[in-house]
Structure 1
Amino acid sequence: MKAKWLKLISCAVICCTMLVSFGTCEAADTKLPILMYHDLTEDPAKTNSMTITGERFRMDMEYLQQFGYTALLPSDLIDIKNGVREMPEKPIMITFDDGYRSGYTIAYPVLQQTGMKAAIAVIAYNMQTENAALADRHALTWEEIYEMAQSGIVEIGSHTYNLHNPQYKGNSSPNGIDGVQRLSGESQSGYHARVGADLNMAIAMITQHTGQQKVNYFSYPFGAYDSYMQQLLDEMGVSVSTLTNPGVANIATGLHRLPRYRITMEQPVSALLRQSEIAVPALSKVSVNGVPASLPAYMIGGSNYVRVRDVAALLAGSAAGFDVQWNAAAGRVELTSFTAYTPLGSENAVLPPESKTVASVTEPTVVDGISYMTAAFNIGGNSFYKLRSLGDLCGFLVDWDAETQTVNITS
């Protein structure tokens, strides 16, 4: 298999409806889902409610890329709110809390590969430069933060300087007062002196070490809101803040206290953001190494999707041939490159004439033992893919000839 399929290409998909677990998304010009991550690990045994595997994060980002989402940073939300730019058709905001080292070692390369962007809210006190050489350090360094911030795909926000319950090792307080919430009996002036000093220090350190002109974003520790804090954010020019309650953010009502969806191993992005589309039967004209052919297809969101088995049969015996197996236990398609395909006899069957509403496949496609999230739909028990997506996975070239309205496949 050609090495190029290791890096998935970006395929724009125009979606008529976005379904999340809560229902249909309305008014796409003001609403967007915000995703919340914390730590990443390469060890599946170390996952929990706050930690997912790097592989899962990669598949989350591949799903967003494949289905045409545009990742927004806090500065982008400010521009949209101020009318400087428009909300993209399929917006998403990706956030990380705390400032774990994995944000640089695992997440950052995936963001670069998939074209996604993320906001990282750091606990500034924990970003210790002198610990950069420690093999077991868990926090980012300012050098790593600077590199990410300068890339343009990461924006650094505040998760306080050191008010993430350090006295309880970062865990929830037994007295129920967490993060930046006011202390028992604390006056507003006392709060502003205590918490204001912390926020000032966080902003000063972030701007000093990132090159950012300002800090646009604040993530409430534990999602614990306090109206006194809102006044401080307003005074210090921090325009965007998030909580931890699930829901769709609607920036028409403001940029503060935005809800977020926590992504876990049990709730990946593909399950949260299921795509619902209208599939219209079509016939896709193709050419394989110059030989004309055709494939039954569904027109979905402006693109033709074809059955993976039809493509496997079409390429059987060529240098781009691959095998297709259905893993019923896992509910997923498994492909093996450079392997003979045995036809079932049902390939290239005529599609029913009526249009239908279809949902995206949420399980990954496994290619030579490696899982990838690929734009696909399950229709009538068959998996339908974009030819370009299959080509990227299986190592054959796909080009569009606008003059002849033909998809050219070269093995």
Structure 2
Amino acid sequence: MLGILVGAGLVLLQVLLALPWMYVTLLTHTDRQQLRANPFQPWLLQRLYATLAGSLLLPFVAFTFLTDKDTLENAGRVYAAILQVQITLDLFVFGFVLMLWIWPKGGAVALAAFREGTRQPTFWLLFFLALLLMAAWVVVPYFTFGEDYLVVKQLGYDTIMLAAVLFGTLAASLSISEEIEGRTAITVMSKPISRRQFMLGKFAGITLAGLFMFGLLGVYFEGVLMVKHWWDKLEAPKESDVVQAALGVVPTPPWVNDLLTKWDLPGGPTDLLRGVFQWAAHAADTLPALVLCFSQVMVLVALAVALATRVPMVVNLVVILVVFLLANLTPTLLAVARKTSEEQAGSTVGRLLTFVAQVFDTLLPDLGAFTLDPALLTDAPPPFALFMKYVGSVTLYGAIYTGIVLLFGLVLFEDKDLA
């Protein structure tokens, strides 16, 4: 009986988390008006009773027919993945509610840009293309002598980042450049909405659409990493914690086992909750790198938004591509310039190469700081406090660079003749 109650609580938690995003996406305007007038609508009460009955029936069936420990742990991981998706959706719902309350005009522009971006075929084309690529990375042989997992992990991060960057650049060009050229922006800014609110709102909406893609792809990516372990048949429980971390396997935190022992639940709910906590630990392990990748996306999208106020889509795409390539090549260019200056002291080629490398290093963003290659390829995980400090400092750097680029874009946009 206790196990059924625990399972019912878990089902009800999923139902409660589903209410906000279902209210926004599934209910019609008429349904919402009826709920505001009378929250106890007959159709709503019928669904509520069915949900309560299902929350008791589903755990009973699950714990009756699913008795294997591994099966229950896998079910817990699936439950946690669905929970993570729902939390992601709810954060966007409440985030926009808060934005519209704090920043009404700019928030309205951001919400419109977000809706426009997520409804574009380009968004879903890139989304499903990223899904297919990450699934393909699992079965591709890499011949890395036991480090295939690290390669798949890095490829997954890069796939998510590139999909979001490409979407953000295209969305900025379509949403801003075409509205300016089609003179739709004149109508919008006569509401009255200032140019600052228009541009920052567009940036916020496009960036949040990219973050939405990040959130969904991140959950899928975490599942891909677990499938990769199954594909490679790694016996993670037999390895030490250090070896597990080197392979990318996140062991169950000791406090989880202590907590489950303290609760003294039946075997079925205990195994299910262990799978839930294992997924949570796995998600926490991948989160820092996703934060760094999104910081890089934020910088490049800000540049695309700033350029979209002046240049057409093709030029915008080319500039973003050039900046991306040069910013990643700048560290190598600096090393070559330093070596050339040492070997050919005082030469014209060395001085010119050093000057060009320093200009690129000063003006372009340090995109190399947004990657976790060194941390992924070490034999032991980095110290947690030092690692979080690095992630925080790089994220702050990305936010500051984004602010500078947006300020530059505002200067360009203020002088733009919309008529």
TM range (shorter): under 0.3
TM-score norm. by structure 1 comes to 0.22
TM-score norm. by structure 2 comes to 0.22
Higher helix content, 1 or 2: 2
The structure with more radius of gyration:
2
Q: Which has the higher contact order (CA 8 A, sep 6+)?
A: 2
